[in-house]
Amino acid sequence: MELAFGPRVAKSPYFDATVAAGVTHFSVYNQMYMPVLYGDPEGEYRRLTEAVAIWDVACQRQVELHGTDAAALAQLLCARDLRTQVVGQGKYAPVCDHRGRILNDPVVLKVDEDRWWLSIADGDLLWWARAIAAERGLDVAVSEPDVSPLAIQGPKAEDVVASMFGDWIRDLKYFWFGAAEIKDIPVLVSRSGWSKQGGFELYLRDGRRGVDLWNLVLAAGEPHGIGPGAPNYIERIESNLLSFRADTVDDCTPLELGLGRFMSLDSDVDFIGKDALRAQRDRGALPRRLVGVTLDDQPTGPNEHPWPASVDGRPVGSIRAACHSIRFDRPIALALIDTPHDVPGTVLDIDTGVGTRSGVVTELPFTD
Amino acid sequence: MELAFGPRVAKSPYFDATVAAGVTHFSVYNQMYMPVLYGDPEGEYRRLTEAVAIWDVACQRQVELHGTDAAALAQLLCARDLRTQVVGQGKYAPVCDHRGRILNDPVVLKVDEDRWWLSIADGDLLWWARAIAAERGLDVAVSEPDVSPLAIQGPKAEDVVASMFGDWIRDLKYFWFGAAEIKDIPVLVSRSGWSKQGGFELYLRDGRRGVDLWNLVLAAGEPHGIGPGAPNYIERIESNLLSFRADTVDDCTPLELGLGRFMSLDSDVDFIGKDALRAQRDRGALPRRLVGVTLDDQPTGPNEHPWPASVDGRPVGSIRAACHSIRFDRPIALALIDTPHDVPGTVLDIDTGVGTRSGVVTELPFTD
């Protein structure tokens, strides 16, 4: 099916480079075209897990908080204690509403003492941040800056990035970053990215230079076998990396998604949703949980939509994202399943829309 | 270019029907696949302007406000006096942030004394409404209900809808609506829709019945020449119907977009953004305005992205949406142009990315 291009959805600064590189499939993310495939799903998986891939993730937009109250607003928005965070450090932190429902799962970068970026998943978190800032009378400007991440992911990524920016990047801890320039292109270099294969993200700070930066990375990566890719559907399921909206529903909380370790419910900092999340935790039993599922032996491509799951004919949730795992050589899925049917070993009946199949609940992360 | 289908973006209840009807191009709107073309742009325009078309606009989601403070929240969110609005009446109303920046331009439906729907353009207005409700301590539930509009647009739409629901629909005033059922499918029937060709929207209240409703409309419309279509790119430019995000930028206000007549800046009701909007109006000169442009004689398909406009080499804004008008038989566009270059007759140099062309500013609406 064709994707229509028009002015309502934005092109990334890397758009022309991705077309030249042979992108075949796009999705739309944060009102921006996001490349998702270059025509070779298994080859792109191998490149990511065995060598190095370059991804246009400009759609991972930044919500910038700038001003006297920037740190105060970041802390109100994020369900994690940010008080010890220093300039140059990033943290993965759920953002929730007043009822504890997850709104986003950004990486939060402290760019300067009075400047923070929330590097966001799909959604108008910009509006949420503006609402809170204005309602609380905070002295902070909330904007979307001209910043567009380019990801370099895979076991060879460090060598590629070091050859571009120097060996200092080898000392970056996970989610930490530093400012740099290459050929007069301003970037932040961060050790981060939406895979568990290791890698970096270059936060491009000048949208006019996207194709230039892409080509510099391609040239630097050529000795290491670099090639184009995209956030990898199979690898992220295998690695249990959350895909906001794919894995989530409107009213689920980070606790249900297994993100409790990224929250600071017992700290004395105040953030939106804290009371609701503490109450849910203290009740003991969650209404549902994100779990793994091992599917039966039928071939499993990506599911086009969530598949309803049932036990004894009663709805118990849904399969969110299914694939044939290359690493585990079996069909697996992430599923949001109502308790008590989230117990490992539970057998689910799954309605794929073109027939029923079965699956067995497993704990996350997946293991061999 | 192919569109990737996956569980992060939702299928409409009409999805299978649109595929069966031959949809060729989709976009993504409110995290939902939106059909935009069935392969025949001129034929679909003629069907809309001369007969009747059926559109899947389920992506026009509803933000439901329900509870004691539903009316109070609706009024806070909308820059228009809603006090005289009665059950069964809808109003087009800009929603702005505290600085008067437009966040959305919904039709606001008073469904019941304590239940309002904002029928929204693309964006997470759900989160905005929840933020305001929670920060102000209002007694209101804010949710996205199971409601999916299906549009029937064109000069024959009234006959089609009357044949389905009865002649009472002929008495509906613009934006008014009533509850109805057909074959046990619950809907609201509203005289509305994103064209100036006349028409109705059926607000389907049971997502399981989408294909059934689609087929009932097709059958009722068959004697009137009905066929599939989508929000029409050419007709909406000719008619100067706002496309949020296509025609707008992050910091523009409804005044700049020519929506002043839909706001109540001189009423004594309080709403978010009122002070900022009054201040902008009272300053007299707007920083920019949405204007018409008559382009030179080169062929003009839809622009894939905004085209920068300049005067004497200085940037003055951008062409937002261009087309070859069938009605006026000339290339036209909507443009957001900085004052004082918004004056009719101003000649713009336009960078299309594949060459420069010229255009002349005109007032809106377009005339022969």
- For B108-127, how does the pLDDT look when each residue is reduced to its tens digit (9 = 90+)? 999 999 999 999 999 999 99
- Residuewise pLDDT in 10s, chain A (368 residues): 999 999 999 999 999 999 999 999 999 999 999 999 999 999 999 999 999 999 999 999 999 999 999 999 999 999 999 999 999 999 999 999 999 999 999 999 999 999 999 999 999 999 999 999 999 999 999 999 999 999 999 999 999 999 999 999 999 999 999 999 999 999 999 999 999 999 999 999 999 999 999 999 999 999 999 999 999 999 999 999 999 999 999 999 999 999 999 999 999 999 999 999 999 999 988 999 999 999 998 888 889 999 999 999 999 999 999 999 999 999 999 999 999 999 999 999 999 999 999 999 999 999 98
Shortest CA distance from B321: residue in chain A: A7
Enter the tokens of residue B322: 């261009």
pLDDT at A223: 98
Taking only the tens place, the pLDDT of each residue in B45-82 is 999 999 999 999 999 999 999 999 999 999 999 999 99
B16, B26, B28, B130, best to mutate vs chain A, most A CBs in 10 Å: B28
DSSP A111-172: EETTEEEEE--SS-HHHHHHHHHHHTT---EEE--S-EEEEEESTTHHHHHHHHH-GGGGGP
Kindly state whether A36 is in contact with chain B, defined as any CB-CB distance less than 8 angstroms: yes
Query: Strand, coil or helix: what is A236?
Result: helix
B37, B127, B233, B319, best to mutate vs chain A, most A CBs in 10 Å: B127
CA atoms within 13 Å, Cβ hemisphere of A251: 10
β-bridge mates for residue A291, sequence order: A335
A194, A305, A336, best to mutate vs chain B, most B CBs in 10 Å: A305
Does the beta-carbon distance from B24 to A11 stay under 8 Å? no
**Chain B residues touching A144 at Cβ < 8 A:** 250
Does the beta-carbon distance from A302 to B127 stay under 8 Å? no
Residues 6+ apart with CB under 8 A from B184: none
Amino acid, res. B98 = H
Kindly state whether A215 is in contact with chain B, defined as any CB-CB distance less than 8 angstroms: no
- Nearest Cα to Cα of residue A147 among A208, A233, A71: A208
Kindly state whether A40 is in contact with chain B, defined as any CB-CB distance less than 8 angstroms: no
Which pLDDT band holds residue B299 (cuts at 50, 70, 90)? confident
Kindly state whether B61 is in contact with chain A, defined as any CB-CB distance less than 8 angstroms: no
pTM: 0.98
Chain A / chain B CB contacts < 8 angstroms: 156
**Partner-chain residue, chosen from B28, B36, B97, that has the shortest CB–CB distance to A130:** B97
Does the beta-carbon distance from B131 to A135 stay under 8 Å? yes
CA torsion A207-A211-A216-A222 (nearest 10°) is 140
**Partner-chain residue, chosen from B4, B128, B306, that has the shortest CB–CB distance to A25:** B4
Kindly state whether A139 is in contact with chain B, defined as any CB-CB distance less than 8 angstroms: no
Average pLDDT for B311-321: 98
> Taking 90 as the threshold, does the pLDDT of residue B300 lie above it?
no
Kindly state whether B3 is in contact with chain A, defined as any CB-CB distance less than 8 angstroms: yes
- CA B314, B320, B323, B326 torsion-angle sign: negative
Does the beta-carbon distance from B25 to A4 stay under 8 Å? yes
Q: How far is A183 from chain B (nearest CA, A)?
A: 24
Taking only Cα atoms into account, the Rg of chain B, rounded to an integer number of angstroms, comes to 21
> What are the respective helix, strand and coil percentages of chain A, to the nearest 5?
25, 30, 45
Taking only the tens place, the pLDDT of each residue in B91-106 is 999 999 999 999 999 9
Query: Strand, coil or helix: what is B300?
Result: coil
- B225 CB-contact burial (10 Å; exposed 0-12 / middle 13-18 / buried 19+): middle
**Chain A residues touching B132 at Cβ < 8 A:** 131, 135
Pairing of strands A32-37, B32-37: unpaired
Kindly state whether A132 is in contact with chain B, defined as any CB-CB distance less than 8 angstroms: yes
